[in-house]
A and B are shown apart, each in its own frame.
Chain A
Amino acid sequence: MNEIFQLFTIPFFQRALIASILIAVVASTSGSFLVFRGLSFMTSGVAHAALGGAALGMFLQYSGIVPWFDPILGALIFSVLVAVVTGYAGESGISQKMEVAVGVSFALSMSIAVFLLHYIPPTQVPQVWGYLIGDILLLDNLDVILLGGTAAVLVLIALLFNKEYVYVSVDMEGSIAHGLNARAYHYMMLITSALAIAFATKAVGAILVYAIMVAPAAASNEIMRSVRGVMVTVFIFALISEIVGLAASLAIQASPSAIAGIIAALIYVVSMQVKRIRERAASNQDFPEVEDLSETFHESLSASAEQAHEHEHE
């Protein structure tokens, strides 16, 4: 027991815990809206774009073309580009078009990353891959501060504009017709989400980001019946996944991101089942009425069959 308490005094574990809470906040305030918008795929698109951008940044830095260019700058620029391209494709409100745009940007940024890896000094290559795999146990203070800032901005935006985000997702055309500047909110939602994903990717790696951004929001959307309910459960599901991931990583030497991803996916599968069971229960209640009607129907069928019989004899 004492050993567990001692854990909480170790700085890297404290940072990992704080980061877990912050990532759960990001998932709740950004992931929920992306799932509402039908854009869960954008999370992985942006996370990989961040990887491509970081590779470009590192290339510019080490080739001496732009020595001051930090990889995170490249990651942020690429992420915003993906958001803008996606937003442009989806201005009419059709989310299928946005998925295609995300798919293309995804392929493009991964290609750029792989292409540039060849020109980056081999010693720096692991730093690029760090964007993909990352490790919540290896954060420094700056990572945590950046994450904290991102989470704070997202909470503020979600408090101010959650209705606009929902309205744009639920009825883009009607919102514009009522005078809402829907295009502005559409882009704001995509760009802030992209920036948040890029910062989170830098801190904990793309794999944890899309595990935590997508699955808890999709799971909550299956079972909750209000927007606020979804946002609260996303936070809880995300935090549970991450804490289990952290605990497992200490107990059995596993990657916390991997475990968290598996737990989040399991929560999604369970939620789908819960929804199905609920629907089955609801349809059972309606059953007696249907039975009554079918009896009447059968009676009328046999009656008309008898009539048809009589006609034949005539």
Chain B
Amino acid sequence: MSKSNLLFDVQDLAVKYPNGDFALHHVNFTVESPSFMAIIGPNGSGKSTLLKTALGLIRPTRGTIKMMGYDSVRDGHKIQRMVRYVPQRDQIGLNIPMKVKDIALMGRLLKKRPPRFASSKDKEITRQALEKVDMQDFWDRPFPELSGGQRQRVLVARALAGKGSILILDEPLAGTDAESQRLIVDALEDYHKNNDVSIVMVTHDLNPIHRMVKNVLLLKRTVIGIGAPCSIMDVDLLTKVYGPTARIVEYAGHRYCVTHDSGMDRHE
């Protein structure tokens, strides 16, 4: 169903915020599919904007962004059919009495036609997805009453239960407890290994997913660097983005970064 095997093909992309400032400019890069890709950069560096543009939610001011050969403007709906998206957690409205199962089932039901009844197969797959993030016991619990980390796990399960060859997550680890972080990272790693899917993750903090990431895109309104995690973990590169306080720590053969942006991470 895909037109090319480039997960991303971005040419001279520029995107403006509604206030006229450039969120992104002169963005050029390609990433081959399948990949486990991380998009990192400080606050306001255009990470989420890049994703939303790729999904056809925002129109580029200049240039093009293609996913699997499909142009975000012309073929946005084709991209949306391939994608399962985990938005930032605070995008989810909490004044609606949704149960965990209602949220988790959205992943499957959104790709059906109205009236979108959940078949027993939908329920079974959704239950399995919740198991992967250890939330199966919360099936009938109200979603708004969960903790932040638990809500995030449900949203990841919603994506795991869905269909589509590309999984896109916007800051899935932001503000989560260590246990949720571990469960989410493990579930994603496991899923990526056993399924033919690409995973694209926007994150403040590369360290928790460092080991499994194939491509890292370092962004600050434009591409600062792209490559394997250890090549991005370069002091010169990171100080350029995060300022002079950025440091690299080597531990057990891997490089980890310490920035004032994300703080030091728990790494045993």
The residues of A with any CB-CB pair to B shorter than 8 Å are 36, 38, 93, 159-161, 163-164, 166-167, 169-180, 221, 224-227, 229-230
Nearest A residue (CB) for B142: A225
B109 to chain A, nearest CB (A): 6
Report the Cα distance A227→B110, complex, angstroms.
17
* B87 and A173 contacting across the interface, CB-CB below 8 Å: yes
Query: B111 near A36 (CB under 8 angstroms)?
Result: no
For the complex of A and B, 5 pairs with smallest distance between CB atoms: A177-B85, A179-B80, A178-B110, A174-B87, A170-B93
Nearest CB in chain A: distance from B157 CB, A: 13
Contact of A163 among B55, B92, B115, B142 (CB under 8 A): B115
Q: Chain B residues near A230 (CB, 8 Å)? A: 97
Q: Does B57 contact A (CB under 8 A)?
A: yes
Known: A160-B115, A177-B57, A179-B77. A226 touches B97 (CB 8 A): yes
Contacts of A221 in B (CB 8 A): 95-97
Any A CB within 8 A of the CB of B84: yes
| Of A36, A173, A180, the contact of B96 (CB 8 Å cutoff) | A36
Q: Is the CB of B111 within 8 A of A178?
A: yes
Shortest beta-carbon distance, A277 to chain B, in Å? 16
Name the distance in Å between A216's Cβ and chain B's nearest Cβ: 15
**Chain A's interface: helix, strand, loop or mixed, by majority?**
helix
The residues of A that contact B102 with a CB separation of less than 8 Å are: 166, 226-227
Nearest residue (CB) in B for A224 is B97
Query: Would you list which residues of chain B between 54 and 91 have a CB under 8 Å from chain A?
Result: 55, 57, 77, 80-81, 83-87, 91
Measured CB to CB, the closest approach of chain B to A65, in angstroms, equals 41
Contacts of A161 in B (CB 8 A): 114-115
Interface centre among B55, B83, B106, B142, by most chain A C-beta atoms within 10 angstroms, is: B106
> Given known contacts A36-B96, A163-B109, A226-B99, what 6 new A-B pairs fall within 8 Å (CB)?
A163-B116, A169-B93, A174-B86, A174-B92, A177-B85, A221-B95
Q: Is B226 an interface residue (CB 8 A)?
A: no
Assess A179 versus B111: contact at CB under 8 Å? Given A171-B106, A225-B142: yes
CB-CB nearest in chain A for B92? A171
B80 adjacent to A176 (CB under 8 Å): yes
Evaluate contact between B97 and A225: CB separation under 8 angstroms: yes
Q: Would B110 and A179 count as touching, CB distance under 8 A? A: yes
A172 to B88, CA, bound (A): 12
Bound CA–CA A229/B96 (angstroms):
12
CB distance from A207 to the nearest CB of B (A): 25
For this complex, 19 residue pairs linking A to B, each with C-beta atoms less than 8 Å apart, are: A36-B93, A36-B96, A38-B93, A161-B114, A163-B109, A164-B114, A164-B116, A166-B102, A167-B106, A169-B93, A172-B91, A173-B87, A173-B91, A174-B87, A175-B110, A177-B83, A177-B85, A224-B97, A226-B97
Given A161-B114, A174-B87, are A227 and B97 also a contact pair (CB < 8 Å)?
A: yes
Supposing A38-B95, A178-B111, A229-B97 touch, asked if A170 and B103 sit within 8 A by C-beta, the answer is: yes
Instruction: Tell me whether A178 and B96 are in contact (CB under 8 A).
Output: no
Are B96 and A166 within 8 A (Cβ)? yes
Residues in A with CB closer than 8 Å to B91 are 93, 171-174
Please report the C-alpha to C-alpha distance between residue A171 and residue B95 in the assembled complex, in whole angstroms: 12
Distance, CA A256 to CA B107, complexed state (A): 46
CA distance A176 to B110 in the complex (A): 9
Is the pair B110, A170 in contact by a Cβ cutoff of 8 Å? no
- Smallest distance from the beta carbon of A169 to chain B beta carbons, Å? 6
- Residues of B close to A175: CB separation below 8 A: 106, 110
A179, B81: Cβ atoms closer than 8 Å: yes
Note all chain A residues with C-beta closer than 8 A to B86. 174
* In the complex, residue of chain A having the shortest beta-carbon distance to the beta carbon of B91: A173
- Hey, which chain A residues are within 8 Å of B57, CB to CB? 173, 176-177
B114→A36 contact, CB < 8 A: no
Q: Nearest chain A CB to B29's CB is how many angstroms away?
A: 21
Asked whether, in the complex, the Cβ of B80 is within 8 Å of the Cβ of A177, the reply is yes
Is A171 within 8 A of B87, CB to CB?
A: yes
Closest to A218 in B: B95
What are the residues of chain B within 8 A of A164 when measuring CB–CB? 114, 116
Q: Closest B residue to A168 by CB, please name it.
A: B93
Tell me whether A160 and B110 are in contact (CB under 8 A): no
In the complex the two chains form, is A36's CB within 8 Å of B99's CB? Answer: no
The CA-CA distance from A174 to B167 in the complex, in Å, is: 12
Q: How far is the CA of A141 from the CA of B87 in the complex (A)?
A: 50
Knowing A163-B115, A170-B93, A178-B83 are in contact, say whether A225-B110 is a contact too (CB < 8 A): no
A224 CB contacts on chain B under 8 angstroms: 97
A163 to B93, CA, bound (A): 14
Q: Is B162 an interface residue (CB 8 A)?
A: yes
The residue of chain B having its C-beta at the shortest distance from the C-beta of A38 within the complex is B95
- How far does the alpha carbon of A39 sit from the alpha carbon of B196 in the complex, in Å? 42
Question: CA–CA, A271 to B81, complex, Å?
Answer: 42
B98 at the interface (CB under 8 A from A): yes
Residues of B within 8 A of A172 (CB): 91
In chain B, positions 243-262 with a C-beta closer than 8 Å to chain A are: none
Residues of A within 8 A of B114 (CB): 160-161, 163-164
- Determine whether the beta carbon of A170 is less than 8 Å from that of B96: yes
Expressed in whole angstroms, the minimum distance between the Cβ of B221 and any Cβ of chain A is 22
Chain A residues, CB < 8 A from B162: 178
Q: Which residue of B lies closest to A164 (CB)?
A: B114
Contact B92 A170 (CB under 8 A): yes
- Which residue of chain A is the closest to B141 with respect to CB atoms? A225
Which residue in chain B gives the minimum CB-CB distance to A279? B145
